[in-house]
A and B are shown apart, each in its own frame.
Chain A
């Protein structure tokens, strides 16, 4: 019979008549107890040994127990201090506690046990030690001392010490092994150790040696060293998901400059030049010369819309309009600047309806930095161009989009934007919390936006911060942990991937 080396050793060390414990076998075979245990179970499964299990209780002093065994129980120390301080008379508690050098929680422990064990009385803040008490006969102290010497102790006192958290009791299983008849027979017939190997080597495979070896067993449940690969940033994953949904819905992606003229960022959008959002507080103006190349007819159309409105009954804003301001360059506050460039026909040529376009790109706003707001964030922007679009088409499109993120029960709250009419704030039901949450801003572009760009049909549009979607759907609560140089690498490494 060939068995692994560890099993051969155990078999040789075991006896058919005397029980041997695992510890004894480990010592006899010079192997680790866990190796012996593994070998014993394998031998039992082969029917070569039998195993009996008994439980044994052991008692161990806690840190507190060790301390009291050395320095004495707090109540005893208190009693002795009280005796010393007052010669048997009642003494103010503070004085005794000071003299006893008890501190912190030990004071309370001492006081409660002092009375319980009849070391005296506590009355009106004074300690009256009982001169007849005998601390040397304290059962608990004696038990602690015995336990420290490794002696056993009677059950009641042990319960008492356990309730004071001075000892802990452990139960452990003692396994004892004896050879079965089969084991004896096998030994008599001869048992050889099979050759065991740690690693399968190329040489073993080519020589055929692998056929004669036993592989050492691994502890397959043990932790392996950490392996780490890279992964896409969680916000990129979210953006990819959004892009998948939108391309699936027939939207094509836009691309364009981050730094742009205010003309494209705001004026085309029919944002009045004295609108609060266009003041220097909200805007990241760049220290560069103004943009020269903007089609003149477009400037004229946009200026006219601002000053005089669009159509026979249209009114303009009662605000001045400056071409210099329009040509000034800033970081875009929204990606609607891209929509304006595309709709104007100056980006990819004149567009004929129907069209669907989107972008998931960065915008810059001077917001207060907090867990949910950064100076830079990703805006999801989308629009649909078609003849005779209605509010119902807008609602249907958004219901479809948000359903892919599990957001249902979309509500449309009438809203105001300078560039859309009608306009709606979008609210939806969170898939997990059930809360009604704001999920975007939308509307039909005004004629004052579209006609100057040369668009004669309808365009509906919406926008939403990608970070908001990430936080709503995937439960991040501080966006600064993932976006920007203050990010936490561990968080990024441990973040679950999007499915």
Chain B
């Protein structure tokens, strides 16, 4: 979940509530769904919240939400924008993988240290969330006075910059935090930030690049040039965003513009000249969605007056017009910084939050249904009860295991006919060498438990009814899953007979016929191993574990064991 650092003093200034204590803020923020996690070294609140309201990734956004909560603000507010002076020209050479650009010019910013920190934080947090680590959208913010616009045409008065694509070694510039003239390819190799984001563009034929009349000044999504670096002295900014989706970068741009406008800056439109036509950005269009009064009442489970609903919408920073008719429907206006409203139901949630969900009286739903356990779970439970009655300790082991434990240490070959020899369902990119596949049988887990408990009292009679799986391309999921019943008897005088006696008792409990014809299995001693045949079908193996398996698990006493398919007891 995203975390945003917010200075309480900034919060006081931006909300106009200079007298709010830190504690009052914490309570108010919790009510908004922003959880206080602690303070940073320089005293900022660390606030954690769900990744829906990304417009709250800055102190300005958090302050805006608080102002609505306090009733200081109501309804939708859209900043005024001035007419465009700058044009972003999108060149033919722009990489196909990253065709979209958007942006704005922001004038009259007053950036003190706190405001600059907040802007940098907002940029980073948007990169991490909506921007999908810059893959989907990346933001560049530049000091406008350091840019020299190309003249677009002899007749036009405006300035322009060009978004294009260049050869990896096609040009050089000095990147932020660097003193060297480097090509984009060199930035990816030599610059720390370049190395971090190299994967995003390294497969591209041409690298994204933004030029003004002086030359290359930004290498999105990797790094900006040093020439246009923003400082507390900057007064006018140029914001540009590039990405793989126009809607996403437009919304990221809106969130930044709203944050700067909250500090008194003026937003100026820019024109983006695509080959297909020219569009004006930022896109502050207010969208509408419709939701019925009925639906709101049903979801919240309370009756509401029309005025009350409109009031709740306005307190959520939305506007609502009631359209009366057979069914009352609200046309709800949604401000352009909201990125989380996909469906009218999301607006009902806003109404609920403004109403206060915890003020609702819980009620038990008056609908009758019949409860029951699943057949498989009942069977498993019955077998477990019998095993425990026979004196076994019921165990619970991981379904994931390593090939070494599952096959090699049990002396079973992958793909062999023996129980446990099935092909592995392997994890594509395992994170730990201990867990690389799903276990094909249970005995390796039980033997490991014996290995890890040699300091505990014997006899150790252990059993597990557990999930096993092996690769089987005939299955729809490509994995054949089953439950096995497995048991080990580790005691100084354990014999085949001990295991078979308990297996036979279990079979009697479930009224199935057990036969144990001699067989062989590499984990067991030849001549002391039998197939478990239940009602005529071979379903498992019973015998004395082979000394090499015992010794390999650092055990110093005989182990008798059995394992078979649970479904044979059904």
Binding site for B on A (CB under 8 A): 226, 228-233, 235-236, 240, 243, 246-255, 257-261, 274, 276, 280, 284-289, 291-293, 309-319, 329, 331, 353-356, 362, 364, 366, 374-376, 384, 386, 388-393, 395-400, 410-417, 421-424, 444, 446-448, 482-490, 492-493
Contact = CB atoms under 8 A, between A and B. Distances in A.
A415 B349 CA distance: 10
A311 B353 CA distance: 23
B477 to A, nearest CB: 5
A329 B247 CA distance: 31
22 contacts: A230-B394, A247-B371, A253-B372, A255-B376, A284-B400, A312-B290, A319-B245, A354-B369, A356-B369, A375-B398, A376-B400, A390-B298, A415-B33, A416-B53, A417-B50, A421-B346, A421-B349, A424-B357, A446-B345, A483-B397, A485-B449, A486-B452
Contacts of B361: 392
Contact of A231 (B341, B394, B460, B478): B394
Max chain B Cβ within 10 angstroms of own Cβ: one of A246, A287, A289: A287
A255 B374 contact: yes
Interface residues of B, number: 93
Contacts of A490: 456-457
B527 interface: no
B394 A396 contact: no
B360 A261 contact: no
Contact of B301 (A285, A390, A411): A390
Contacts of A485: 397-398, 445, 448-449, 452
B83 interface: no
Contact of A489 (B302, B374, B391, B453): B453
Nearest to A255: B374
A41 B442 CA distance: 60
B463 to A, nearest CB: 7
Contacts of A261: 477
Contact of B52 (A276, A313, A416): A416
Interface stretch (B88-96, B145-153, B423-431, B529-537): B423-431
Max chain A Cβ within 10 angstroms of own Cβ: one of B132, B341, B394: B394
A240 B381 contact: yes
Given A258-B469, A286-B479, A318-B248, A229 B388 contact: yes
Given A253-B377, A288-B478, A313-B289, A259 B345 contact: no
A390 B449 CA distance: 48
Contacts of B394: 230-233, 236
A261 B438 CA distance: 16
Contacts of B425: 259, 286-288
Contacts of A398: 362
B398 A487 contact: no
Given A356-B371, A362-B467, A417-B50, 4 more contacts: A232-B384, A396-B364, A422-B357, A485-B448
B471 A288 contact: yes
Contact of B364 (A354, A388, A400, A416): A400
A286 B299 contact: no
Contact of B353 (A229, A292, A414, A447): A414
A286 B398 contact: no
A154 B60 CA distance: 87
Contacts of B428: 280, 285-287
B388 A355 contact: no
Contacts of A310: 343
A386 B396 contact: no
Contacts of B462: 489
A353 B367 CA distance: 9
Interface in B421-476: 425-429, 431-432, 435, 438, 445, 448-449, 452-453, 456-457, 460-463, 467, 469, 471, 473, 476
A250 B368 CA distance: 7
B481 interface: yes
A315 B427 CA distance: 35
Contacts of A424: 357
B136 interface: yes
B369 A413 contact: no
Contacts, number: 268
Contacts of B389: 230
Pairs A-B, 10 closest by C-beta atoms: A416-B50, A390-B301, A395-B362, A392-B301, A247-B371, A288-B478, A354-B367, A485-B448, A253-B374, A393-B365
A246 to B, nearest CB: 7
A375 B360 CA distance: 37
Nearest to B331: A313
Contact of B357 (A246, A314, A391, A446): A391
A242 to B, nearest CB: 11
Interface string B394-433: 1111111000000000000000000000000111110110
Interface of B: 30, 33, 50-53, 132, 136, 245, 247-248, 289-290, 298-302, 340-346, 348-349, 352-353, 357-358, 360-365, 367-374, 376-377, 381, 384-385, 387-400, 425-429, 431-432, 435, 438, 445, 448-449, 452-453, 456-457, 460-463, 467, 469, 471, 473, 476-479, 481
A353 B460 CA distance: 50
Given A243-B377, A259-B481, A396-B364, A487 B449 contact: yes
B501 to A, nearest CB: 15
Contacts of A391: 299-301, 352, 357, 360
A287 B395 contact: no
A303 B300 CA distance: 30
Nearest to B430: A284
A486 B395 CA distance: 11
B29 to A, nearest CB: 12
A60 to B, nearest CB: 36
Contacts of A249: 371
Nearest to B297: A390
Given A259-B478, A286-B427, A288-B473, A236 B384 contact: yes
A319 B425 CA distance: 31
Contacts of B376: 255
A287 B426 contact: yes
B265 to A, nearest CB: 27
Max chain A Cβ within 10 angstroms of own Cβ: one of B371, B389, B426, B452: B371
A391 B359 CA distance: 11
Nearest to B33: A414
B452 A292 contact: no
Contacts of B481: 257-259
Nearest to A416: B50
Contacts of B245: 318-319
A292 B136 CA distance: 30
A442 to B, nearest CB: 11
Contacts of A250: 368-371
Contacts of A412: 357-358
B461 A414 contact: no
B391 A229 contact: yes
Contacts of A314: 342-344
B52 A311 contact: no
A232 B479 CA distance: 29
Contact of B342 (A285, A286, A448, A483): A448
Contacts of B476: 291-293
Nearest to B245: A318
Contacts of A423: 50, 349
Max chain B Cβ within 10 angstroms of own Cβ: one of A288, A310, A413, A483: A288
A79 to B, nearest CB: 51
Contacts of B362: 392, 395-396, 398-399, 410
A366 B370 CA distance: 36
Contact of A396 (B300, B345, B363, B398): B363
Contacts of B374: 252-255
Contacts of A397: 364-365
B478 A309 contact: no
A361 B329 CA distance: 43
Contacts of A486: 452
A424 B340 CA distance: 16
Contact of B479 (A316, A329, A446): A329
